[in-house]
Chains A and B, each alone.
Chain A
């Protein structure tokens, strides 16, 4: 069974640009969540999508957005990039809505974004 796949693995952008990251969950998983990891802030929850609907959202500005498609694949977008957006962006999938106790999160290897 293929794991969670994130693309691209590495990318470099400049301030003011926008970026789109992609995540393909494990087959059959309906929930996809996104996390930002930085050395200073650690792992921070961005948002969670379940059946194409955003179910939960973390404390990030509106520049961070996402969506989920009918095949459960998800994308997240960051507009007007800032230097502080440089981070490892992790995607995780699960069978059901995380925290219901019915399963765990399976993480991808992440997309490392560098903003210059």
Chain B
């Protein structure tokens, strides 16, 4: 079963905010939401994670809805180097397995 649902692809103009959504409707109360990105031919890179509250770091902001069934990753000022596949991950509810989302291929357009 899919643990997260993300749009397949998105475009964003350089300098604008990129908002990447993720649906995780079966998340349980003690599971965290993690976001990673993968630039072509490289290993995935950690971006941010959160449990309930909104989080912000030097790379991005994470907005989690009050019911925790969805979240949005915000890159405030997208650059060409932000072009990558973005994965939303939650810890599996049962079976102690990990699932990456389908990933969103973000293209930042000059």
Q: How far is the CB of A36 from chain B (nearest CB, A)?
A: 11
CA distance A59 to B49 in the complex (A): 25
CA distance A22 to B35 in the complex (A): 26
The answer to whether A90 and B44 have CB atoms under 8 Å apart is yes
Which of B27-46 touch A at CB < 8 Å? 31-32, 34, 36, 42-46
Size of the chain A interface, CB-CB below 8 angstroms = 25
A-B contact count (CB 8 A): 54
CA distance A104 to B98 in the complex (A): 13
Given contacts A42-B102, A99-B31, A99-B91, contact A105 B36 (CB under 8 A): yes
CA distance A9 to B36 in the complex (A): 22
The answer to whether A42 and B100 have CB atoms under 8 Å apart is yes
Residues of A within 8 A of B43 (CB): 4, 90, 92, 107-110
Q: How far is the CB of A9 from chain B (nearest CB, A)?
A: 11
Q: Does A8 contact B (CB under 8 A)?
A: no
Contact of B46 among A33, A90, A104 (CB under 8 A): A104
Q: How far is the CB of B35 from chain A (nearest CB, A)?
A: 10
Q: Does A16 contact B (CB under 8 A)?
A: no
Identify the B interface with A (CB < 8 A).
31-32, 34, 36, 42-46, 49, 51, 87, 91-92, 96-100, 102-103
Identify the A interface with B (CB < 8 A).
4, 33, 35, 42-45, 48, 55-59, 90, 92, 98-99, 101, 104-110
Give the 3 A-B CB pairs with smallest separation, nearest first.
Answer: A107-B43, A99-B91, A104-B46
26 A–B contact pairs at CB < 8 A?
A4-B43, A33-B98, A35-B100, A42-B100, A43-B100, A43-B103, A45-B98, A45-B99, A45-B100, A56-B96, A56-B97, A58-B98, A90-B43, A92-B43, A92-B44, A98-B91, A98-B98, A99-B32, A99-B91, A99-B92, A104-B49, A105-B34, A107-B44, A107-B45, A108-B43, A110-B43
